[in-house]
Copies of this chain bind each other. A is one copy, B any other.
């Protein structure tokens, strides 16, 4: 079953079939329709390997995950993201190829190889950093990309689907402030990520505006153990915070466990909130107050933006991601009078 069969069936040449399936001019609407009909009858679709060989689409989009492989299952983020990317790509019969890289060098090598072999048509980038080496490489390679970022990308760079982490931080802090919290600490992710930095800056600005003391921020690698450690440290201070915000829900749940072990009642003695929502935040008791964003939709939008990018001649514009809303649950309350 080849394009020649379809051409024969439709009474045209193979190039007509090619034109019809690549939406290019030089063919009448009537023949185009006839060709599509013939292909449908025969159940034919262009062979992706042959396409990739001639430099056309591979029908595959890549995602490199740079986290320790073991931690993948711990956080729902990547799973949700993958589900969303999937959904967005499937509309155009594009598949997702997944690779786990152990470090930056690895990741860059993968992009080089993918480009060389025309293995993927484009890639999705997560966790952008400042002066991200990956963006330079991808630009040099000419490999289309979209970034899950926190601001629109500068012209000439890969477009982002962005969520303003600064604004999200401010929203959460406004809520805690309104409850009466004045000693708010934060257990964050690694400082190298842009979203971590943006949150840090927004938090500093928020507190400075209100003449409050700067927040204590403890950076972690997102692991349960570092989250627990940070929580233990904060709760052991002479004047412990009355509220702690965590950059991810794994950190928050680890922190909640520590509080419970230490006899600190949540939310009576301590309010806990997370920047990340997931099933786990809803399943633990007390249920966690979180900033919730629809990660699946985030992925879907990224997928669609990438597909548009692949079709476009020039650069496409960044666009905002899903709305982030505050889900108030049971882990936050006004601070107890002391």
Contacts and interface: CB of A to CB of B under 8 A. Distances in A.
Interface of A: 1, 45, 47-50, 52-53, 58-60, 69-70, 72-74, 76-80, 82-84, 86-87, 90, 95-100, 113, 116-119, 224, 250, 253-254, 256-257, 260-261, 278-280, 282-285, 287, 295-296
A86 B100 contact: yes
B285 A257 contact: yes
A45 B117 CA distance: 9
A49 B283 contact: no
A52 B72 CA distance: 30
8 smallest CB-CB distances across A and B, nearest first, come from A73-B80, A49-B52, A73-B76, A73-B79, A72-B83, A74-B279, A69-B83, A253-B283
A23 to B, nearest CB: 20
A69 B98 contact: no
Nearest to A93: B113
A279 B73 contact: yes
Contacts of A74: 76, 278-279
A324 to B, nearest CB: 17
Q: Which of A77, A260, A285 has the most CB of B within 10 A?
A: A285
Given A45-B113, A73-B279, A250-B279, 10 more contacts: A49-B52, A59-B119, A73-B76, A73-B77, A73-B83, A83-B100, A87-B100, A95-B99, A250-B283, A280-B280
Given A224-B279, A282-B224, A283-B250, A82 B98 contact: yes
A78 B47 CA distance: 29
A283 B254 contact: yes
A55 to B, nearest CB: 10
A64 to B, nearest CB: 11
A220 to B, nearest CB: 15
A117 B53 CA distance: 13
A18 B232 CA distance: 59
B48 A117 contact: yes
A82 B72 contact: yes
Contacts of A113: 45
Contacts of A53: 47, 49-50, 53
A78 to B, nearest CB: 6
A86 B257 CA distance: 32
B278 A257 contact: no
A73 B79 CA distance: 5
A84 B84 CA distance: 21
Contact of A260 (B60, B78, B118, B285): B285
